Structure 1
Amino acid sequence: MDDVMDERLPEQEMWVKAITARQNEARWKVTDGSSTFEVHIEKDVLDRLKQENLKITRGNIFRIRYYIRQSVKNYALSSQYVVTEILEVKKRMTQIEMPWTIQ
């Protein structure tokens, strides 16, 4: 039996931390603090990041609006997290260089 289902679940929001995020790529790897997973970034979100010159890099924490697209085909279940908006970004702390050396 070929059971096929494709469903978009309601939008939600959550905080995630970037593990791998490249500005021009639509797939990023993130963590919510307990799980690591991939998110798909919609094209208009990538365009907005580029237009606003906002860079998401490894270690940044950001709040996203997303939905989950679930599919079932031949009894195999898959879920894809799709980011529709980046609501807030907290840049990772950077270590500053001190003007002296420790001896």
Structure 2
Amino acid sequence: MDDVMDERLPDQEMWVKAIVARQNEARWKVTDGNNTFEIHVEQDVLDRLEQENLKITRGNIFRIRYYIRQSVKDYALSSQYVVTEILEVKKRMKQIEMPLAIQ
């Protein structure tokens, strides 16, 4: 007998740091400082990023609103983090080149 469950857990917020984030792709790899995991970014969030000309790149830290979709099938548990909104972005600092003066 198949044991099937698909449930959306309540919305939550957290800060994450981008490890791999491509603007037009819905799957990003992030870290919360302790764990590395994938998030799925909803299409309307990607569209808003494009409209606002906001780029999420490696090293950016951002606060997200998300929910977890959990599924169980044949006693295998899986969880997917689904981003419904990007609330705040902290761009990584860029290192500037200093001219070297050799004397």
| Fold shared per TM-score above 0.5 | yes
Tell me the TM-score normalized by structure 2: 0.97
What is the Cα-based RMSD across aligned positions, in Å? 1.0
C-alpha offsets along residues 60-96 of structure 1, whole Å, 9 cap, x if unaligned? 0000000000000000000000000000000001101
After the TM superposition, list the runs of 4 or more consecutive aligned residues in structure 1 that deviate by more than 2 angstroms: 99-103
**1:102, CA displacement in angstroms?**
5.3
Letter in 2 for 1:39: I
Is 1:67 aligned to residue 101 of structure 2?
no
Say how many residue pairs are matched. 103
What residue in structure 1 maps to residue 26 of structure 2? 26
Question: Normalized against structure 1, the TM-score is what?
Answer: 0.97
In structure 2, how many angstroms separate the alpha carbons of the residues matched to 1:29 and 1:62?
13
**Once the two structures are superposed, what CA deviation does each residue of 1:39-62 show, in whole Å capped at 9, x if it has no partner?**
000000000000000000000000
Q: Which runs of 5+ in 2 are unaligned?
A: none
> How far does residue 97 in structure 1 lie from its aligned partner after superposition?
1.3
Percent sequence identity over aligned pairs: 88
Partner of 1:90: 90
Structure 1 gaps of 5+ residues are none
Distance 2:95 2:23 in 1: 23
